[in-house]
A and B are shown apart, each in its own frame.
Chain A
Amino acid sequence: MTNSNVILEVKNLNVEFTTDDGIVHAVNNVSYTVERGKTLAIVGESGSGKSVSSLAVMGLLTGANSKITGEVFFNGKELIAADPEEVRKLRGDEMAMIFQDPLSALHPYYTIGDQLAEAVRVHHDIPEAQALARAAEMLTKVGIPDVEQRIDEYPHQLSGGMRQRVMIAMALINGPELLIADEPTTALDVTVQAQILDLLRELQKEFGTAIVLITHDLGVVADLADEVLVMYGGSAVEHAPVREIFYSPQMPYTWGLLASIPQISEKKEQLDPIPGSPPSLLNLPKGCVFAPRCTFKDQVADHACADSFPELLVVSPNHEARCHLTEAQRNTIRAERKIGKVN
């Protein structure tokens, strides 16, 4: 590893699923890095491969029908080709994950205390009582009231926000260096969402945890992320620091995402949705994955969008995007449509 400040480096990750209908190309050649203590947001629609790529990083895609290629370096150690037993020992200890729906992600038959203590004891050979004390301490830290009472309750007795706090406590209980949060606020009320995001930010500061935040909510991205990776059809289509994504997006899909956010300052009868629907991962288009839905593909010469998938090109240092449009064309379109804040 070149940069010791990098906790996670994903290189050319591919994930395929063999199904009765054919091979599903869920993740195609995705690369990214996450620095210690920083947050990378992976943004995209359902089926864009954002969750699958993270499960692959965690070694949680164990189905016989899945095939993973590429490299994942965690703290300099390659995980894809590694012994699954070694990856298991890292899971929950040095890298942890929280999920979208905390009710179904917590075991309905065990008390939250049991579930937290179990997470401690997987990686630390300590007595149950000590693990429970650690659990109580962690639950207090994530803002669970009346911990002595709550610790003996079952997940269904808690509110949605409390459950997600429990999940966060469980994920961070061993002080991992990397937390993958898969849509951590999607299943929650809006007011609770803000609390959970605040909590994540505070804990990140306290523990210095790097976060990979999977979301389709650009509000969450603006709130928490340092860097953003936009995924579409299983590929990374744009990768930039968060400011650049909002101020100077370079890819029509990212424009579409930004245009579909309601703006309180503008009076609009309708939002601008992206026309069409995401491509089938069974049968990806030959050229650019986004071409079938792209409003600007006709501006590109020689039907390039239908013929070839653009390479990730460097727009500015740290900013990469895939698009056949020339820089001049992109700037004109952004100026005309007032996409992002044009510098």
Chain B
Amino acid sequence: MFPYIVRRVIIMIFMLTLLSIVTFLLFNAVPTDPARLTCGKTCTPEIVAANRIRLGLDQPLLTQYIDWIRGIFVGRTYGSGSATFDCSAPCLGYSFRNGEEVTVLILDAIPVTMYLAIGAFLLWMLVGISSGIIAAKHHGKWQDRAIMGVSLIGYSLPVFFVGLLFLVFVIVRWNLLPYPDYASPFEDPVAFFQTMLLPWVTLAILYAAYYARLTRSQMLETMGEDYIRTARAKGLAERVVFRKHALRAGLTPIVTSAGLDLAGLLGGAVITEYIFSLPGLGRLAIGAVTEYDLPTITATVLVAAVFVIVANLVVDILYAAIDPRVRLT
């Protein structure tokens, strides 16, 4: 088990390095002069030139990349002489839009996205997996057909449609919930739950539908395996066959999907955050993109990608813990 984890971690470090290079190149691939973007309408060529030097944008690409990476790990100092300013680690630069530290923007946004993603995740796993199991248990009967029918509808509805529908009816027309106004769960739990409820449900509908179908097909496939027949031949009660022998094997592939889907959402649920005005990573990224705020764009991309890569590692380790056949490879 241990060599397996070490190997996975090495692969992860390699992927992270590759990823940082791609993200960095993204910054430089924009068909605009980054230095020009650092000041607004009252820009003069002198200010642009000065900013270029201050931000190190006049340096060769390799130097810029190394400075950027060093900034993330040990912090960096912009400018030289008397006009310097320190950016402590992890330094992701300053927003072109309002001059704020990107690290602060990101750290403010992460909890919001995290609450959204994890809440939705718990909801959809609970609903999706249990209804998938029920459907598989009653394969071909009305329960199965009902669950599959509903899930097909859920799966076909785009998030922006469901989200807007909720917004219009639940909040605007029926006034069942106040207008979304995000508050930290530690400061105002009631407002937090009132704000998060609809986004959770919106996201969970889509994923629950998908997971119900996935769980059903996995369970049906597993129930047809030879070792399930063996378990029955031993004289085990059907309940034990299902819980002990079928569930564990059937749900293993779902761990992979679940880990990656959760990671994807942690990088920002753009549409949902936008519809319900949640100040998460997705909204931050959209705002940054519309305003050419390059340091913020690269930072959000980097953070989202790190989530996915780390989740991949966690999934691999979990998989090995569940399936002994993986451990030796």
A interface residue numbers (CB < 8 A to B):
58, 60, 62, 64, 88-93, 96-97, 99, 101, 104-109, 118-119, 122-123, 154, 156-157, 167, 170-171
Q: Which residue of A lies closest to B234 (CB)?
A: A92
Q: Which residues of B contact A154 (CB under 8 A)?
A: 324-325
A154 to B322, CA, bound (A): 13
Check A97–B233 contact: CB distance below 8 A. yes
B323 at interface, CB cutoff 8 A: yes
Q: Which residues of B contact A101 (CB under 8 A)?
A: 226
Q: Which residues of B contact A58 (CB under 8 A)?
A: 233
A107 to B233, CA, bound (A): 13
Check A107–B227 contact: CB distance below 8 A. yes
Q: Which residues of A contact B249 (CB under 8 A)?
A: 107-109
Q: Which residues of A contact B231 (CB under 8 A)?
A: 107
- Residue among B230, B245, B248, B323 with the highest chain A CB neighbour number at 10 A: B230
Residues of B132-146 whose CB lies within 8 A of A: 140
A60 to B248, CA, bound (A): 22
Q: Which residues of B contact A91 (CB under 8 A)?
A: 232-235
A62 to B223, CA, bound (A): 12
Q: Which residue of A60, A96, A105, A123 is within 8 Å of B227 (Cβ)?
A: A105
B6 at interface, CB cutoff 8 A: no
Check B235–A99 contact: CB distance below 8 A. no
Q: Which residues of A contact B226 (CB under 8 A)?
A: 99, 101, 104-105
B58 at interface, CB cutoff 8 A: no
Q: Which residue of A lies closest to B230 (CB)?
A: A105
A105 to B225, CA, bound (A): 8
Q: Which residues of B contact A62 (CB under 8 A)?
A: 232
Q: Which residues of A contact B323 (CB under 8 A)?
A: 108-109
A62 to B228, CA, bound (A): 12
B interface residue numbers (CB < 8 A to A):
140, 225-227, 229-237, 245, 248-249, 322-325, 328
Q: Which residues of B contact A104 (CB under 8 A)?
A: 225-227
Cβ of A287 to closest chain B Cβ, rounded Å? 35
Q: Which residues of A contact B234 (CB under 8 A)?
A: 91-92, 118-119, 122, 170
Dominant secondary structure of chain B at its interface with chain A: helix
Seed contacts A88-B237, A119-B235; 12 additional CB < 8 Å A-B pairs: A91-B235, A99-B230, A104-B225, A104-B227, A105-B227, A106-B227, A106-B230, A107-B245, A109-B249, A109-B322, A122-B234, A123-B235
A170 to B231, CA, bound (A): 11
Q: Which residues of B contact A96 (CB under 8 A)?
A: 233
Known: A93-B235, A118-B236. A109 touches B229 (CB 8 A): no
Q: Which residue of B lies closest to A104 (CB)?
A: B226
Q: Which residue of A lies closest to B325 (CB)?
A: A156
Cβ of A115 to closest chain B Cβ, rounded Å? 8
Cβ of A325 to closest chain B Cβ, rounded Å? 40
A167 to B233, CA, bound (A): 11
Cβ of A100 to closest chain B Cβ, rounded Å? 8
Cβ of B241 to closest chain A Cβ, rounded Å? 10
27 contacts between A and B (CB under 8 A): A60-B232, A62-B232, A88-B235, A88-B237, A89-B235, A91-B234, A91-B235, A92-B233, A92-B235, A93-B235, A99-B229, A99-B230, A99-B233, A104-B226, A104-B227, A105-B226, A106-B230, A107-B227, A107-B231, A107-B249, A109-B322, A118-B236, A119-B234, A122-B235, A154-B325, A170-B230, A170-B234
Q: Which residue of B lies closest to A108 (CB)?
A: B325
Cβ of B202 to closest chain A Cβ, rounded Å? 36
Q: Which residue of B140, B230, B237 is within 8 Å of A107 (Cβ)?
A: B230
Q: Which residue of A lies closest to B324 (CB)?
A: A154
A107 to B229, CA, bound (A): 10
Q: Which residues of B contact A106 (CB under 8 A)?
A: 227, 230
Known: A91-B234, A92-B235. A105 touches B229 (CB 8 A): yes
A336 to B58, CA, bound (A): 100
- Residue among A62, A93, A107 with the highest chain B CB neighbour number at 10 A: A107
A89 to B230, CA, bound (A): 14
A123 to B235, CA, bound (A): 8
Cβ of B244 to closest chain A Cβ, rounded Å? 8
Q: Which residues of A contact B237 (CB under 8 A)?
A: 88
Q: Which residue of B lies closest to A60 (CB)?
A: B232
Q: Which residues of A contact B245 (CB under 8 A)?
A: 107
Cβ of B249 to closest chain A Cβ, rounded Å? 6
Cβ of B20 to closest chain A Cβ, rounded Å? 38
Q: Which residue of B140, B227, B236 is within 8 Å of A122 (Cβ)?
A: B236
Q: Which residue of B lies closest to A174 (CB)?
A: B235
Known: A104-B225, A109-B322. A60 touches B236 (CB 8 A): no
A246 to B283, CA, bound (A): 81
Q: Which residues of A contact B140 (CB under 8 A)?
A: 64
A122 to B244, CA, bound (A): 13
Cβ of A173 to closest chain B Cβ, rounded Å? 9
A192 to B196, CA, bound (A): 63
A118 to B245, CA, bound (A): 11
Check B235–A90 contact: CB distance below 8 A. yes
A270 to B124, CA, bound (A): 63
Q: Which residues of B contact A93 (CB under 8 A)?
A: 235
- Residue among B229, B245, B323 with the highest chain A CB neighbour number at 10 A: B229
- Residue among B232, B323, B325, B328 with the highest chain A CB neighbour number at 10 A: B232
A96 to B227, CA, bound (A): 14
